[in-house]
């Protein structure tokens, strides 16, 4: 394929994409194929000679769409969404066409400078003070790992990156049991160890108990361990739990520990001022992450980390051999020094297009609609016989179960997802197997959300 061919096939692909999105409501949300069936349908080895594009295209249409779970389906109520507004898709096409490796300012000045501008736009949009600056990661997992590595090095006086952890004191990291598994992964990969991630008890509201946090830190210090930092939950993945952010930060500050706020899902809602009470005190954090690819319409992947003082993270993550230097300008921003990978995509372009094309008020209204419709779905489910609301809506996330117990609830979820009209997922809460409902698909409507209760009613035992 040459660039003339690419032009023609790109037009064909655009037509296919338009047809695909127009017909999403007619497809089952979750893939219905048996595990391994697509893999077994593919040849055992790559062809020795190139194949015609027509045949490749034919195989794509025959094999791929029906083997996909459709994340842009308006009745995708599982996990959290990975939204992709059409204007974001367009920006990704342009970024893909330029195919830049934006690791340094000099390798992609526009990518670096638009990213800097977008961090200011988003900082203002979610109400953070001007002391925060930011960068874009691929996912919240990478941002949290970067924050935890920085906590580690601050505690060790940056000896870990030079000497390793052999001979270092036992490091302790603190979080609530409601934090995402990415915090566990960060503890493992940062050399802290799963056993040294202290899951602080939560209260009846599922918030980390600040007094229990202070006690845990004191006990660890008395035992000769080295506390390094606190990860705060702002919209947990399981049932949407929020720590009392300001209270936890106050304890951490008293103890001299840095904080990182995981708001991967819920952070997008903070473009709506009325929801900011949920993370009151966040302005005192050292770091926080949220994912515009979850609830703002920025195509995956796009995770934003805001940092009060990037110097510590740059000192931890940065590495500048001669071949990565920018001659005659030591003060230039090179975002690879803020993150794990050296290579970087031009992710800021889709934020620029998205925020300009929709404007904040349109994005706010979508989030407000999702929250309101989730509450309505909660009420409709609560009215069904044998259904119990287990956790009340946290923004647009709530959970329910059948009063007949875990086996009945699990069987119901299986029937729901096999039915195909909607897609829901599960979690465990208070020892129970419960079904999560999360409203957030970019193009869902009130009618789409109303289907949730209808499907459950149709499939009740």
Q: What is the 3-state secondary structure (H, E, C) of 163-215?
A: HCCCCCCCEEEEEECCCCHHHHHHHHHCCCCHHHEEEECECCCCCECHHHHHH
CATH number at 456 reads: 3.90.1150.170
Look at residues 296, 316, 345 and tell me which one is the last residue of a structural domain. 345
- Does one domain contain both 337 and 198? yes
| Percent of the chain residues topping a pLDDT of 90 | 90
**Greatest CA separation found in the chain?**
72
Residue 309, classed as helix, strand or coil, is: coil
Q: Is the domain of 175 the same as that of 287?
A: yes
Kindly report, residue by residue over 14-37, the tens digit of the pLDDT.
Answer: 999 999 999 999 999 999 899 999
Query: Per the domain annotation, does 6 fall within a domain?
Result: no
Residue closest to 362 by CA, chosen among 271, 452, 244: 271
pLDDT value at 461 more than 90:
no
Q: How many domains does the chain have?
A: 2
pLDDT score of 327 more than 70: no
Which pLDDT belongs to residue 331? 75
Residue 52 pLDDT > 90: yes
Return phi, psi of residue 291, to 5°.
Answer: -110, 100
Check: CB of residue 306 under 8 Å from CB of residue 133: yes
Residue 39: give the domain boundaries. 22-84+359-461
Q: Based on the fold, state whether residues 311 and 456 are members of the same structural domain.
A: no
Distances from the Cα of 16 to the Cα of 21, 87, 95, 446, 461, angstroms = 9, 17, 20, 27, 40
Better pLDDT: 332 or 114? 114
Judgement on whether residues 67 and 183 belong to the same structural domain of the protein: no
Residue 92 lies in a domain: no
Same domain flag for 114 and 74: no
* Per-residue pLDDT at 355 exceeds 90: yes
More confident: 245 or 334: 245
> Residues 6 or more apart from 49 whose CB is under 8 A from it?
none
Same domain? For 455 and 321 the reply is no
Q: What is the pLDDT of residues 378-435, one digit of tens each?
A: 999 999 999 999 999 999 999 999 999 999 999 999 999 999 999 999 999 999 999 9
In this structure, are 162 and 311 located in the same domain? yes
Distance CA 186, CA 183 (A): 5
For residue 48, the surrounding DSSP H or E stretch is none
Residue 429 maps to a domain: yes
Task: Categorize the per-residue pLDDT at 328 as very low, low, confident or very high, splitting at 50, 70 and 90.
Answer: low
Q: Are residues 186 and 335 in the same domain?
A: yes
395 domain-assigned? yes
Residue 310 CA to residue 128 CA, distance in Å, equals 15
Instruction: Tell me the average pLDDT across 161-173.
Output: 93
Taking alpha carbons only, the member of 450, 442, 418 closest to residue 80 is 442
Residue 248 and residue 277 in one domain: yes
Would 73 be classed as within a structural domain?
A: yes
Per-residue pLDDT at 324 exceeds 90? no
The predicted-structure confidence for 209-268, as pLDDT tens digits, reads as follows 999 999 999 999 999 999 999 999 999 999 999 999 999 999 999 999 999 999 999 999
> Are both 121 and 163 inside the same structural domain?
yes
Mean pLDDT of 190-198: 96
DSSP string covering 215-248 = HHHHHHHHTT-EEEEEEEEBS-TTT--B--HHHH
Task: Report residue 216 as tokens.
Answer: 């845990």
- Token readout for 260 is 């990182």
The answer as to whether 386 is a domain residue is yes
Q: What DSSP character marks residue 345?
A: -
Kindly report the pTM of this predicted structure: 0.93
Q: What is the CATH number of the domain that holds 159?
A: 3.40.640.10
Taking only the tens place, the pLDDT of each residue in 80-89 is 999 999 999 9
> Considering 282, 312, 345, which residue would you say is the last residue of a domain?
345
314 and 376 inside one domain: no
Last residue of a domain, one of 312, 345, 378: 345
- Backbone phi and psi for residue 8, each to the nearest 5 degrees, phi listed first: -70, -45
pLDDT band, residue 329 (cuts 50/70/90): low
- 8 Å CB contact between 387 and 381: yes
Residue 55 belongs to a domain:
yes
Rounded to the nearest 10°, the torsion over CA 185, 85, 61, 69 is 40
Tens of pLDDT, residues 266-317: 999 999 999 999 999 999 999 999 999 999 999 999 999 999 999 999 999 9
Q: Is residue 14 part of a domain?
A: no
- The answer to whether residues 380 and 290 belong to one domain is no
């Amino acid at each position: 394929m040459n660039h003339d061919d690419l032009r023609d096939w790109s037009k064909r692909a655009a037509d296919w994409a338009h047809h695909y999105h127009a017909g999403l409501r007619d497809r089952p949300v979750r893939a219905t194929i048996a595990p391994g069936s697509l893999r077994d349908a593919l040849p055992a080895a790559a062809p020795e000679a190139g194949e015609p594009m027509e045949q490749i295209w034919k195989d794509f249409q025959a094999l791929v769409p029906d083997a996909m779970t459709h994340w842009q389906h308006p009745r995708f109520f599982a996990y959290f969404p990975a939204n992709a507004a059409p204007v974001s898709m367009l920006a990704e096409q342009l970024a893909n066409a330029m195919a830049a490796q934006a690791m340094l300012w000099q390798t992609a000045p526009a990518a670096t400078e638009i990213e800097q501008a977008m961090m200011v736009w988003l900082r203002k949009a979610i109400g953070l003070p001007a002391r925060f600056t930011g960068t874009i990661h691929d996912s919240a997992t990478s941002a949290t790992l970067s924050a935890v590595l920085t906590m580690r090095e601050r505690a060790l006086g940056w000896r870990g990156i030079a000497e390793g952890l052999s001979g270092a004191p036992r490091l302790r990291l603190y979080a609530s049991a409601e934090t995402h598994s990415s915090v566990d992964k960060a503890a493992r990969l940062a050399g802290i160890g799963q056993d040294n991630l202290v899951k602080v008890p939560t209260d009846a509201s599922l918030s980390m108990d600040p007094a229990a946090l202070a006690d845990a830190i004191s006990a660890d210090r008395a035992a000769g361990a080295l506390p390094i930092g606190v990860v705060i939950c702002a919209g947990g993945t399981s049932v949407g739990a929020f720590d009392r952010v300001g209270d936890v930060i106050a304890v951490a500050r008293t103890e001299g520990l840095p904080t990182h706020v995981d708001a991967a899902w819920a952070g997008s809602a903070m473009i709506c001022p009325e929801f900011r009470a949920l993370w009151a005190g966040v302005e005192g954090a050292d770091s926080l992450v949220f994912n515009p690819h979850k609830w703002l319409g920025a195509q995956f992947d796009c995770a934003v980390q805001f940092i009060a003082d990037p110097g510590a993270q740059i000192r931890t993550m940065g590495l500048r051999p001669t071949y990565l230097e920018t001659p005659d300008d030591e003060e230039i921003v090179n975002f690879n020094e803020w993150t794990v990978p050296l290579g970087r995509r031009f992710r800021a372009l889709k934020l620029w297009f998205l925020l300009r094309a929709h404007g904040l008020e349109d994005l706010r209204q979508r989030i407000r609609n999702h929250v309101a419709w989730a509450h309505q779905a909660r009420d409709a489910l609560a009215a069904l016989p044998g259904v119990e609301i287990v956790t009340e809506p946290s923004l647009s996330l709530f959970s329910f179960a059948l009063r007949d117990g875990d086996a009945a609830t699990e069987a119901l979820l299986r029937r729901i997802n096999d039915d195909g009209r909607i897609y829901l997922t599960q979690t465990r809460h208070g020892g129970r197997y419960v079904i999560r409902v999360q409203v957030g698909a970019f193009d869902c409507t009130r009618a789409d959300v109303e289907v949730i209760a209808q499907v459950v009613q149709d499939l009740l035992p």
